[in-house]
Structure 1
């Protein structure tokens, strides 16, 4: 069931299923995906008694900014505060958080800075908190830089125009490049692509990919949180990290490189024949990881 409520600066549209008294779980999607990435995961966990919430992030689907004056920020701190506001609006003191890409970043930041709100954590890709100062000055390995071509494209106005004019074709290309072993159908893609018609999608996405390199200003509301994130805080809540062996955008770091950022119970799992869209490509493994981190 899709519903909505006001939370912070947003009217958040979200899917909810499972018994009201079940352990709460928030499933958070990334770019360029939407709530349908979790269709199988959410159904399985709800059938087992969990209360599952799957929100559209800011700039996606039916989620809307409440005010025209709110900056269309896609910065990491904004995403995390959206999760906190949603927890508050739902009346949830604690929940299990799970996400990848943008959603993993939001979940990881909440776990790092407000661990009392997080019963357990599941992440795709690894440690999710951006080191913006380093990104602005320190180049990655050439192979990694090649994977990030779309980010550099977004740094210019030609990239903004390209995303606005060709958003469905552009995002489908990213799906193909990032998940080379996943054979998704036209219907599967179309179900998600409708979320990119949100009127704030382009502005939010462009700000995200400029801000992470220090090329766009903070929303002042989140400046203090960004200051705390610059220290690259560790995550202490019980965490499972999943990595797609065929991920075409995020280089596989390996367990040792990831584990040093986690100071609590921790497990790392590499998923064969899985790309970037982990919950949709490997729903059984993702659901199992969430079960592992239920309170």
Structure 2
């Protein structure tokens, strides 16, 4: 079982409530880009993207999100899965690595972490790439129903709201991921080896706690951690993002149909470009790495244009 990330040693950095495991690829003097994976995925979603960007003289940092891979929870706050926590993790990693500004890019949970960091710490975000757009959760509005075809695909939200769901995730981490992958990316011909590579990251001792809390918190079914109260209060206003932003939709996303991006454009006050990537599902970086890498370079270009 091989990966484009083979040969790059995992590094570690203590950041607040976490001991973060990450890879650091490309020239150290390159412009930094932080790539953030989703659930149920891991850093290997970004193998080909990292290679493409390193060839463009970018420094690529890909951390395991809390509860995944070698990233360890050092205290109770590290087992929270709420949006403020994963957004703060990005900034705390940047602080630990002495990175003032970086392009932030992600999908699913990683896209949300990037959006949170870009909104609450705008001075740290040099540009943003987010799959499926503006992902800051409006938890106050969580009881409002979505269209039935989308609700149908979010079965795991409700499953994880129950203790039966917690037990199911504990026992069936890999197979739940398989079902979500198939639904999210119906045109992606992933292999058992691809799934095995990602599923190794789900053996983290905090994985179940973080995942369950993430889905319960976003539905208003679990309180947030005290450490993140002030940040969640700010996120409740659905703050705007001023960084130059490229949003991407997968044209073959089985759960989140592609849009023209106008539904959330009011939250993006910087230069904004929207792209639909045909043939891509929800795990867009792994399915269409060239399109994702191009979006990062476009966000950088937009930022340079704004500065001149």
**TM-score bucket of the superposed structures, by smaller chain:** over 0.9
Report SS of the residue matched to 2:276. strand
Moved over 4 A (4+): none
**Could you give the per-residue CA deviations for residues 79-127 of structure 1, whole angstroms, max 9, x where no partner exists?**
0110010000000010010001111101111111111000000000111
Question: Residue 125 of structure 2 aligns with which residue?
Answer: 118
Kindly tell me the number of residue pairs found equivalent between the two proteins: 293
- Residue 127 (structure 1) aligned to one of 124, 127, 134: 134
Alignment check: 8 A CA contact 2:77 2:227 kept: no
What SS class does the counterpart of residue 70 from structure 1 fall into? helix
Counterpart CA distance in 1 for 2:194 and 2:164 is 29
1:41·1:283 contact (CA, 8 Å) conserved in 2? yes
Give 2:269's match in structure 1, choosing from 263, 267, 273: 263
In the aligned structure 2, how far is the partner of 1:269 from the partner of 1:113?
25
**1:252 to partner: Cα distance:** 2.8
Q: Alpha-carbon deviations, 1:158-205, whole Å to 9, x = none?
A: 000001101111111111111000001111111111001111111100
| Alignment partner of 1:34 is 2:47 | no
* Structure 2 alignment gaps of length 5 or more: 1-7
- SS of 1:14's equivalent in the other structure is strand
- Please list, as runs of the form range in 1=range in 2, the aligned pairs for 1:270-281 lying within 5 A after superposition: 270-281=276-287
User: Following the alignment from structure 1 to structure 2, what is the Cα–Cα distance between the partners of residues 150 and 192?
Assistant: 19
Partner of 2:255: 249
After TM superposition, give the deviation of residue 71 of structure 1 in Å. 5.3
Which residue of 51, 70, 80 corresponds with 2:77?
70
Q: Could you state the TM-score of these two structures normalised by the residue count of structure 1? A: 0.97
In 1, Cα distance between equivalents of 2:149 and 2:134: 20
List runs of 5+ in structure 1 lacking aligned partners.
none
Query: Of 209, 214, 219, which aligns to 1:208?
Result: 214
The answer (yes or no) to whether the contact 1:7–1:89 under 8 Å persists in 2 is yes
Give the deviation of 1:271 after TM superposition: 0.8
1:206-232 deviation per Cα after TM superposition (whole angstroms, max 9, x unaligned): 000000011001101101111111111
Do 2:85 and 2:228's aligned partners in 1 also have CA atoms closer than 8 Å?
Answer: yes
What's the counterpart of residue 188 of structure 1? 194
**What is the alpha-carbon distance in structure 2 between the residues aligned to residue 77 and residue 32 of structure 1?**
19
Partners of 1:201 and 1:280 lie apart in 2 by 22
Partners of 1:250 and 1:160 in 2: how far apart?
24
C-alpha contact 2:251 2:257 (8 A) present in aligned 1: no
SS of the counterpart of 1:79?
helix
Distance across 1 between alignment mates of 2:170 and 2:257: 27
Work out whether 1:85 is the aligned partner of 2:79.
no
C-alpha root-mean-square deviation of aligned residues, in Å?
A: 1.0
Q: Is the 8 A contact 1:78 1:222 kept in 2?
A: yes
SS in 1 for 2:263: helix
8 A Cα contact 1:71 1:219, kept in partner: no
1:287 aligned onto 2:296:
no
Range that drifts further, 250-259 or 155-164: 250-259
Query: Are the aligned partners of 1:28 and 1:104 in contact in 2 as well (CA < 8 Å)?
Result: yes
Question: TM-score, with normalisation over the residues of structure 2?
Answer: 0.93
